Amino acid sequence: MKISYSWLKELVPTRLSSRAMANALNESAFDTELTADPNVFEVKLPPNRVCDASGHLGFAKEVSRIAGKPIAYPDASFRASRARAQNHIGVKVDAKNLCRRYTAAYIENVSVGKSPAWMQKRLTECGVRPINAVVDITNYVMLEYGQPLHAFDADKLAQDKQGKAAIIVRRAHKGERITTLEDKSYELAGFELLICDAKDALAVAGIKGGRKAEIDRRTKRIIVESANFDPISVRQTSRALGIRTDASVRFENDLDPNLTEAALRRVCNLVESICSGSAAKGFVDVYPVKMKPIELIVSLEQASRLIGVQISAKTAEAAFALFCDSVKKQKSGTYVLTVNTMRRDIARAEDVVEEIARFIGYDAIPEQTVSEPVRPARIDERMEEKWLFQDIAVKLGFDEVMNYSLIEENDKQAFGIAPDSFVRVTVPVSGKYTYLRPGLLAGLLKNVRDNNRYFPSMKLFEIGRVYRKHERPDERMKTIVPEERSQLGLVLYGAKTDDKARREQFLDLKGYLEAMFKAIGISESEWRFETIIGDERWNGYEPSEFARIVVSGIQVGMIGNIAFWLYHDGYGVDMPVSFCEIEMDALYALRAKKYYDPLPRFPDALRDISVLVNPDSTASEIESIIQNAGSRFLYKAELFDVFVGSMPPSAGRKSMSFHLRFRSSERTLTEGEINKDMDLIEQALKQDEKAAARIR
Amino acid sequence: MNFELLKQTALADLEKASDDVSREAWRVKYLGRKSDLSLFLRSLAEKTDQEKRALGPQANALRKELELRFHGAVVGGRYRPETFRFDVTQPGVKHETGHLHPLTLVSRDILRIFVSMGFDVATGPEIESAYYNFDALNIPAWHPARETMDTMWLDLPELQKPLPERGQTGYQYPAGYKFLLRTHTSPIQIRYMETHKPPFRMVVGDGRAFRNEATDARHEFQLNQLEGLMIGTDVSIATLRSVIHDFFRGFFGPDVAMRMVPSYYPFVEPGVDITVSCVGCKGKNRACKICGGLGWLEVAGAGMVHPNVLKAVALDPKKWQGFAFGFGVDRLAMTKYAIDDIRLFMSGDERFIRQF
């Protein structure tokens, strides 16, 4: 909102420079900025101060407090002709709950010329375009008092039976149209409040005037409206029609109905002096329920307790005087304050405390701690969990990225969930980011694509929330509820496109994951990577190159190489991407305390074994045959080589080689003990059809 | 073969070899391809398993020992031939640690300070109910603040029955309210107060919030807030000043000055905005990029928790009082690292991330 510095100086004679005044206003009243025009402030009024401070007079009260000088109020007197307003205007308010007060003046013999230069200058400073003297006066008084006003040409209104210009305040009819002053036509839905004559709409109440009763050069008799409209109704209509005006902004923030009369008097004064009009005696005033000032009971003790410093009676009383109609001090020491109805922001004792705090200045309040006992901070597990995984990922050399929680239409292909499981934003940002992400893959693929130009390989991770609709089968009906989980996504990128390199990248990622499991205390025997044969739901992974990650029997995520069609065709990435997603809450719950495992006192015995296996056999199957062979001292079997023959005579053959470690906690193992275990293992392998064959 | 004798002879000879040439001659004699030891080792292949097992280790051990002695004599000697000069100015082999996101780093900095002052760290859902996002925060349906928040509403139907905590998401939602993406992290203050007993000291650890607004160098539709709350029987504006100033001293350095100016937020009364002296120019540079020459940075909003908010969580405003505050983590990170475009945070650009 634009406020004129020179206007303020006229109302409060002060030597404060514009910069000094802006600083002081900032510190104790409103967010005030200097603009390119040294005479104009840009002020951000809080919504609950629009009523009292959007007019220069009300705003000047803050300046008066700062400068310590009283306000020089403008003259609002006028002569009044013999005519009586009520003989010329009839006002009927149909929508009583939307129009709290309707005050109207009737002025004759108006000559509509240009407004004086000083007025035009002020209007322009405040961002209002001068039009003609009458319209300019209504706008000027709005800027002065904060009360929006509107003038109608009385001769353009339909007359009622008594020959009076009839004003009806009612809701629109469905489908009714109004043409505004800018010649724009609007079709109305029916909830909008209108100012009408007996036939047509004259104005959208509190928002915009209509064409019909427009003031022009030939206008002689005018009706000036000074009304008070329901803020919610004005806001709804303003939004629905897409019209925002200086008037609507004020009404939306709830103005004081007691203000209409004073503003109207000032209009009459100015129309008399500028347009040589003669205002009729008395205003027509429909004001069924008078807004009365509220009374608040405030104690110095309460104010001191909230501010944290002892407030003296003198300070408090000086602050009260700025917004109260009357202040009574009771015997108990508490005050009964009658708050001026213009101060819509003061409705409770805490609001009074703010006035005192502003009065003494926030920066004058000392810094002070409290008397309460100290106790250790408790940290939400979800934070500990996030920090833990972040730290591990970084230790493993991954870089943390953050992506939007919202995704675009095109990103839906990166997720294997039903189309109706996506949570949708009803009005998306720039029409683009429509859905909440159900996983992290889409964002990470974009990151890979964008970084590809600069980095041939990368290791990225993201921790973030993912969302979807979840159908909860309740007793009879199904309930859709939001589901929000924390996921960890890891991406490896940089392998060549051939099968071997791509699969090695998978194992690389798998290795990082295993390191992560170990880091949170999960022992090797507890995790499994389960082959998924033919995922019927989604084909976003390379066939056979993905697995379910199971820890202690619970699925905690998926790992896999992303399918070519997705990373390449979908996201424009050139080379294979290995990706895994982990359900963080599930995995975090499985973490285990770590205990020291005594160092082995006797050396391991190491043997290697190579097994020619059935081509379909997996490493974990062969390993479990070895593990379950009944060996007494076998402690670990580690696969170190897989050979798949491509040329005769070994074409179609597959062999696996394992390092076998034997260990005893009691002694160094003898050759015989180891050989006995080896025999058991060899036998088990020979008997099992998965291994089926030769052992070297 | 007498290993012991060979060892004695070899070592005595090595002692005598005092220059490069004689040392090389020693190496050929005792360790070269045709040395006795090498020949012996090669001949092991034809021996029986038993002999192999008995002599192999001994011969190998001697070889290792002699190699070690030779190396010691050469490297440990005073005379250093030219060929051994090493260029230490060559680049080191490239290694990279992983990098945490700057927002993570700044959020951790902030939380560390608050935790040290005894503030709990809480989290909450990003899909929020209008009740927690608005109603409980003294922003009823008609309040203009609802519109200024540019809310992103979701197509999730209102619940018929409340969703109990530890349901599908672990978050509790009331029946009869629309779902939205939280526009601020204040709902977590409500959730926290509902489930804890006063006095309270808490900050929200994970502060992603959403506003439906156009993106530019200083605005994002996704923002990161850090909010907190302190409620007790004597927590006052003076306490607010003390705690927040202490925080900024911890975050920006001991010299930082702080100012509080009046402001308005529906969930506090009185409400204030907090500015700190510019960490870049300390108010001395009219052309400063960080503060725009003003000397002060607007960093936080705060205020005394509104009695209606206390009532919404069944606290008696006559007994309990305190303050709430909120920072923009993005803004603090931009200030701390002199980042000039907020969009970098969500860019995933490795050239950016790897700088932290």
Measured distance CA(B174)–CA(B158) in Å, rounded: 9
Surface of A (433-452) touching B: CB under 8 A: 433, 436, 443-444, 446-447, 450-451
B80-111 pLDDT per residue, tens: 555 667 888 899 998 889 999 999 999 999 99
- The whole-number pLDDT of residue A694 equals 60
Surface of B (257-296) touching A: CB under 8 A: 259-264, 269-273
With DSSP H G I counted as helix, E B as strand and the rest as coil, what are the percentages for chain B, rounded to 5? 40, 20, 40
Is the CB of B339 inside 8 Å of chain A's CB atoms? no
Measured distance CA(A560)–CA(A576) in Å, rounded: 11
Q: Could you list the beta-strand ranges (E) of A571-683.
A: 577-583, 605-613, 634-644, 654-662
Inter-chain Cβ pairs, chain A and chain B, closer than 8 A: 268
Which parts of chain A register pLDDT below 50? none
In CATH, what class is A605-687? alpha beta
Q: What is the 3-state secondary structure (H, E, C) of B239-282?
A: HHHHHHHHHHHHHHCCCCCEEEEEECCCCEEEEEEEEEECCCCC
Architecture of the domain spanning A295-360: 2-Layer Sandwich (3.30)
Is the CB of A65 inside 8 Å of chain B's CB atoms? no
Measured distance CA(B131)–CA(A663) in Å, rounded: 62
- The whole-number pLDDT of residue A325 equals 96
Q: Could you list the beta-strand ranges (E) of A447-517.
A: 458-473, 478-493
- The whole-number pLDDT of residue B69 equals 84
Q: Which residues of A touch B321 (CB under 8 A)?
A: 305-306
Task: Say yes or no for a CB contact (<8 Å) between B348 and A447.
Answer: yes
Kindly tell me if the per-residue pLDDT of B78 is higher than 60. Answer: no
The whole-angstrom distance between A219's CA and the closest CA on chain B is 38
Closest partner residue to B153 among A363, A396, A426, by Cβ?
A426
- The whole-number pLDDT of residue B284 equals 75
Q: Which residues of A touch B306 (CB under 8 A)?
A: 350
Lowest average pLDDT, out of A400-414, B68-82, B278-292, goes to B68-82
H/E segment holding residue A100: strand A99-108
Asked whether the beta carbons of B272 and B303 are under 8 A apart, the reply is: yes
- The whole-number pLDDT of residue A475 equals 66
Instruction: With H, G, I as helix, E, B as strand and everything else as coil, classify residue A267.
Output: helix
Query: Where does chain A hold its CATH 3.30.70.380 domain(s)?
Result: 605-687
Task: Say yes or no for a CB contact (<8 Å) between A481 and B350.
Answer: no
Is the CB of A473 inside 8 Å of chain B's CB atoms? no
State the virtual CA torsion across A95, A97, A101, A105 in degrees, nearest 10: -10
The whole-angstrom distance between A502's CA and the closest CA on chain B is 22
Q: Which residue has the higher pLDDT, A199 or B147?
A: A199
Query: Where does chain A hold its CATH 3.30.56.10 domain(s)?
Result: 2-67, 295-360
Asked whether the beta carbons of A253 and A47 are under 8 A apart, the reply is: yes
Query: Where does chain A hold its CATH 3.30.930.10 domain(s)?
Result: 381-589
Task: Say yes or no for a CB contact (<8 Å) between A403 and B348.
Answer: yes
The tokens for A666 are 């009691």
Task: Say yes or no for a CB contact (<8 Å) between A425 and B222.
Answer: no
Asked whether the beta carbons of B260 and B272 are under 8 A apart, the reply is: yes
Kindly tell me if the per-residue pLDDT of B168 is higher than 70. Answer: no
The whole-angstrom distance between B71's CA and the closest CA on chain A is 30
- The whole-number pLDDT of residue B214 equals 80
Strand partners, A73: none
CATH number of B102-126+187-353: 3.30.930.10
Nearest CA in chain B to A479: B159
Residue located via tokens 């109608």? A152
Picking from A109, A107, A92, A244, the residue whose alpha carbon sits closest to that of residue A162 is: A92
Half-sphere exposure in the Cβ direction for B25 (13 Å, CA):
10
A85-286 is classed CATH 3.40.980.10? no
Is the CB of B323 inside 8 Å of chain A's CB atoms? no
CATH number of A381-589: 3.30.930.10
Q: Which fold has domain A2-67?
A: Phenylalanyl-tRNA Synthetase; Chain B, domain 1 (3.30.56)
- The whole-number pLDDT of residue B81 equals 54
- The whole-number pLDDT of residue B84 equals 64
Is the CB of A475 inside 8 Å of chain B's CB atoms? no
- The whole-number pLDDT of residue B125 equals 94
Kindly tell me if the per-residue pLDDT of B126 is higher than 90. Answer: yes
Measured distance CA(B122)–CA(A379) in Å, rounded: 7
Nearest CA in chain A to B270: A354
Task: Say yes or no for a CB contact (<8 Å) between B118 and A397.
Answer: no
